[in-house]
Amino acid sequence: MQWKKIVIEDRFLSILAFLGILLLIASFYMNSLLMFGTGLMIIFIAAGNSYYLKHIGEGLFFDNDRKRNRFFIGDKGEWCLQFLNQGLPIMKGNLSIYFDNAVVPVSGEYHIHSSRVDVSLPFSLGQKEKININIPFVAEKRGSSKIRKMELHIPHFFGFGDTILEFTDVINIEALVYPRAISVRNIDKHKSVKPGHSPSFFSVFEDNMGPIGTRDYLPTDSFNRIDWNASARKMTLQTKEYERINEAGAVLFINVTDGYSVTSNLEFLMSSTAEMAYFFHGRNIPFSLCMNIRSAGFTPFTYLPLGSGKDHLQKLLDLLAIADFHSPTIPHEQLLFFYKLHLPIAPTMIHAGIRTKGADGYIQEWIREGVQVFELQIDNEHAFLEPMKIMLKDVAGK
């Protein structure tokens, strides 16, 4: 059952039906065809009105297929609502929908109450008819916008009451608005000095499993690097060239809390995290996200494993769009404790948000293990990274 029905009948309808019955009875005593016809017509109107109000909406279906569209701030989109009516015709109805204000209608009248946008528009649908209703909108701010409620108000032709249909299922239509990235200085300063598997122009380590090309021989080249087949083809000595590689990967630790509530710097954290993700994606550096927003499953917080590629970037941006001031959180120390026990470390770790004293102990251990740890700092409307500075006395609690 998709719709919950509320029938509101006008009290005058009952009085009208009673009057029709009186006229019908009186017509037999007075032998009046006019009175009989009038009473019969009144009864017919009252019965038809009651039948329409009670059965309207039966056979009305809403296409509730899952749809998730993604936007950047300023992009335009639309809610696409599809209805099919296999019951009584719906005339002069009014459809009201309520959705989160991450997006707002492009035109027309609307109201915003408690972060919800209220839009009303006329609705008429004949029997066995299908219609598509499109509501254009513009992405106004970062966030997730879902249609939270949908109601259809249907009046009777003669005005003797209304039927209200409220959609009871969860509406599976969502618009995600990605954060607007802000510049993060010093993001390119993390350079690993360990061998690994990721290509790097500046590494001193090479992948000796297979050459990627050759170049002219230099006197400083070792003898075993000569490619004799290439040298024979070009009639001059050729040296094998190998791809330069190093250890690469970054974990973004985002503390969205300030005490027991979500920090007021949430937008700054989401925007700077998006910029760092774009940077890592553009250089094919694997990255991961750990955010202390509660999540169901084995990992009790929002976690995106280490990875790279376009789909991986989209998953991270989805998580950044969903985070809001009402998100349930866990203590940041609990996140770090779980990560230390169950999840792999990366060459670089970046901490964003308020750093608590309880977190310093875990960070100090990673620094001792040779992990590069950076901290995100605010600089007016921009951000910058600096190496993490932790005093031993702070860790010891002295």
In whole angstroms, give the CA distance from residue 60 to residue 63: 10
Taking 80 as the threshold, does the pLDDT of residue 352 lie above it? Answer: yes
> Which is more confident, 164 or 212?
164
Q: In the chain, which residues fall in CATH 2.60.40.10?
A: 1-178
The number of angstroms, rounded, from the C-alpha of 265 to the middle of its chain's C-alpha atoms is 19
Is-above-0.85 flag for pTM?
Answer: no
| The pLDDT of residue 114 | 84
Confidence of residue 203 (pLDDT cuts 50, 70, 90): very low
Query: Look-up: residue for tokens 């910029």?
Result: 275
Q: In the chain, which residues fall in CATH 3.40.50.410?
A: 248-396
CATH topology of domain 1-178: Immunoglobulin-like (2.60.40)
Taking 50 as the threshold, does the pLDDT of residue 113 lie above it? Answer: yes
- Per-residue pLDDT of 10-52, as tens digits, reads 666 666 666 766 766 777 777 777 777 776 777 777 777 677 7
Beta-carbon contacts of 29 under 8 Å, excluding residues fewer than 6 positions away, are: none
> Which is more confident, 377 or 51?
377
Q: Which amino acid is at 168?
A: T
In whole angstroms, give the CA distance from residue 155 to residue 68: 33
Taking 90 as the threshold, does the pLDDT of residue 222 lie above it? Answer: no
Q: What is the dihedral of CA 174, 177, 178, 183, to 10 degrees?
A: -170
CB 337 within 8 A of CB 362: yes
| The pLDDT of residue 29 | 73
Q: Which CATH superfamily is domain 248-396 in?
A: von Willebrand factor, type A domain (3.40.50.410)
